[in-house]
Structure 1
Amino acid sequence: MFKDAQSDPAQLRQWLAATARKDREAFHSLYKATSPKLFGFALRILKKKELAEETLQDAYIAIWEAAAAYREQLSAPMTWMATIVRNRALDVLRRSHEHAELDGEKFDAAVASALEDPQSNPIDKLLLGAEAKALAYCMSLLEGSHRQVLAMAYYHDLSHTEVAQQLAMPVGTVKTWIRRSLDRLRSCLGKGDGV
């Protein structure tokens, strides 16, 4: 059903009209029918699966919120949605060029110094050094933009909203990146990969 619906502009227009009325089932149907193609489109622009997934998520939020603004006389439904995905993907690319990723060595040193307690004894420092190295190693496995968001939130003590404002990103994306990054750190540290 959804494969045919993807190429049926009339069905997509019906789902968009229902989505404009905040019909969740219609939106779900629209998503199932169009997301594979739009994900592929985002992936071609961004080259990274994770960024494409985030961009697609943001695009569908925008589609949900702007469905009432869709005008069938101006463009086909897939063209309209692809334009939203394209604009979101280009925003991600623009931000990634504007905000250089953190330098790995500088970041590792910053992690180590942030964790260091001046009151600790030599044994504590040795243990802390191993923990800091393990954390730095696991952090280095994260994508640069995710590492940056995590560092801003935890080492610079910024709220999710403040991180989002500084990086001109949606708060939802910041929260998702932080949650996923923390899960990856837990997994990496749990396996002892950084030791």
Structure 2
Amino acid sequence: MSSQPLQPFDHNALLQACAQGQRSALQQLYERECRFLMGVALRIVRDNAAAEDVLQDAFVNIWNKAASFDPLRGEGRGWMCSIVRHGALDAVRSSARTVSVEEETMDALLEAGDPPESADMLDAFERRSTLGRLDDCMSRLDVAKRNCVLFAYIDGCTHAEIAERLNAPLGSVKAWIRRGVASLKECMA
């Protein structure tokens, strides 16, 4: 009884085959690595549906970018893992732009009126004369936090857009929004 040694799985060759348009190579990579790569995505995004989206996007990217894979710079499995990891981190970053706020707070903010015409560093709060119940709580926030909250929830700006409008560091804007919303929740409780 002779047994042949198992051939190691050759990620590099399959990635080169993907670069040449061989769909069966992508299928083999998917069948071999989907569970592992799903685990990588899930550990980062911590949501099954989001991890599935990340994995699907990753395999599309693996197919589209297979020609850019260079075996001299690393192993194919590591390259695939980095695509999943970067996709998962991007998903986390994009979901971090959405700051959770209670429905009651959001309704009051939406009733506040039209967004400001100007996007300069002027106090956005002054341009909104009627904020209903939030008026007192909003007035307790410092200008930076107040502007960030208003730009985010009234104008619908992303963190990066707010940072650009205020000429402030992105990390500061995120902190101001987080602290501003926390202060509003505490004030309205």
TM-score normalised to structure 2 length: 0.50
TM-score normalised to structure 1 length: 0.48
